Structure 1
Amino acid sequence: MTRLLNRLPRRRARLVTVLALILFAGSAITPDARAEPRSFTLDPAHLHVGFLTEHIGFARTLGVFRDVEGTVVFDEEAPALREIDVTVRTDSVDTGHDARDEHLRSDDFLAVDEYPEMTFTLTEATQTGENTGTITGDLTMRGETHPVSLDVTLNKTGRYPFGDEHYAVGISARGSLKRSDWGMTYGVDNGLVGDRVEIIIEAELIREEE
């Protein structure tokens, strides 16, 4: 239920980097950002990788992953994605309830002892509008890999108005998956926990300056 994103080799950046840059380099990045392959990193103060799933039909449970790492190198002039590595630590799941979080870390769900990371690898990107697009990638979780698609919106690009005034990219992404496809079947048959998991990503990215 919580294994939304997956594991990849470690290098700092973000799942989010992927989302914004692949789709919109040609239409929404300003000229000073268009040159050669550049690296983007996550702004740790503005990252939310979350999920929603049904709880016995009464309400949906909201959770997040607190530890997300990776790297993205993107050629905005091509445009072409040169590199993407994203890793989520499964034991960083947080729903605001200790007992529930421990259950999510158990073999019923994330099995964090055996699978401490999950990864997402981009396979395809399609632009659907001036600032929107869809990305599809391989999500590896609990030792299984299946495709997941996300609808992405590029919210804004430009110089950040505070602090070091870095060049920033802001994106929102939404998608869903069936956790049972990754072997997480606890509570599905009796309706205790929903099988469908909604993915929620809100993030700001910082362009690494040369």
Structure 2
Amino acid sequence: MKSIVFATAATLVLGAGAALAAPEKYMLDPAHSQVMFTYDHLGFSKTYNAFSGFEGEIMFDAEDPASSSVSVSIPTNKLYTGWEERFQHMMSEDFLGTAEGDMVSFTSTGIEVTGDDTAKIMGDLTINGETKPVTLDAKLNKVAEHPMNGKETLGFEATTTIKRSDFGAGKFAPNVGDELDVTISIEAQKAE
């Protein structure tokens, strides 16, 4: 049964198969979607940070799976560091140099299904006005009717590693790690 659920979910989310009548839109649930990232701090510890409360959508076209897409926009001021002074430093010109309304965005450019519940999602990541290609290793967790609101809901996780210096945020590298290990956890509900 589990393999049937995964195959169905892969078809819906990752573009693996059978025809649907029209593209299906799923909207990210901002209350249950986060992007976490860690970096090495001088070899002493790892520092953890997160973005939440952001928007995005997944579109799937069964007749042309290559047209399926994922797009996410994250206001930079939605960063949570756990320490106000670090937040203010991250918002400075040393790192994000952000103004009100500045965004981090990801737009997919292609999807390669790698298994019953896994895929590589290729796309363009934009931070600080710099756009670079990124590949996400994605895993579908579950596709089911949400028990509280009755909407069809998708849940998945993805990981990637990026270099902050690629996006003009490389202050103190290499003493403070240049590589960010990124983990994404998403819930998305079928649009009305």
TM-score by length of 1: 0.78
Q: Which residue of 2 aligns with 1:195?
A: 178
CA distance in 1, matches of 2:11, 2:123: 14
Call closer, same or farther: CA 1:37–1:50 in 2, change over 3 Å: same
Unaligned regions of 5+ residues in structure 2, if any?
Answer: 1-9
Report the alpha carbon displacement of residue 24 of structure 1 after superposing the two structures with TM. 4.8
Kept in 2: contact 1:172–1:203 (CA 8 A): yes
Matching residue within 151, 158, 166 for 1:173: 158
Call closer, same or farther: CA 1:84–1:169 in 2, change over 3 Å: closer
CA distance in 2, matches of 1:115, 1:204: 24
2:190 is the alignment partner of 1:207: yes
Call closer, same or farther: CA 1:62–1:24 in 2, change over 3 Å: farther
Report the alpha carbon displacement of residue 25 of structure 1 after superposing the two structures with TM. 4.8
2:115 is the alignment partner of 1:124: no
Alignment of 1:1-210 (within 5 A): 22-26=13-17, 34-81=20-67, 84-113=70-99, 116-160=102-146, 162-189=147-174, 191=175, 193-209=176-192
DSSP 3-state at the match of 2:177 = coil
Kept in 2: contact 1:25–1:77 (CA 8 A): no
Report the alpha carbon displacement of residue 97 of structure 1 after superposing the two structures with TM. 0.5
Kept in 1: contact 2:159–2:184 (CA 8 A): yes
CA distance in 2, matches of 1:45, 1:20: 25
Report the alpha carbon displacement of residue 79 of structure 1 after superposing the two structures with TM. 2.9
Aligned alpha-carbon RMSD (Å): 2.4
More deviation, 133-142/76-85? 76-85
Unaligned regions of 5+ residues in structure 1, if any?
Answer: 1-18
Report the alpha carbon displacement of residue 44 of structure 1 after superposing the two structures with TM. 2.6
CA distance in 2, matches of 1:62, 1:23: 29
Aligned partner of 1:37: which letter? P
- Structure 1: 4+ residue segments shifted above 6 A: none
Kept in 1: contact 2:34–2:53 (CA 8 A): no
Identity of aligned residues (%): 38
Relative contact order (C-alpha < 8 Å, sep 6+): which is higher? Answer: 1
Count of paired positions: 183
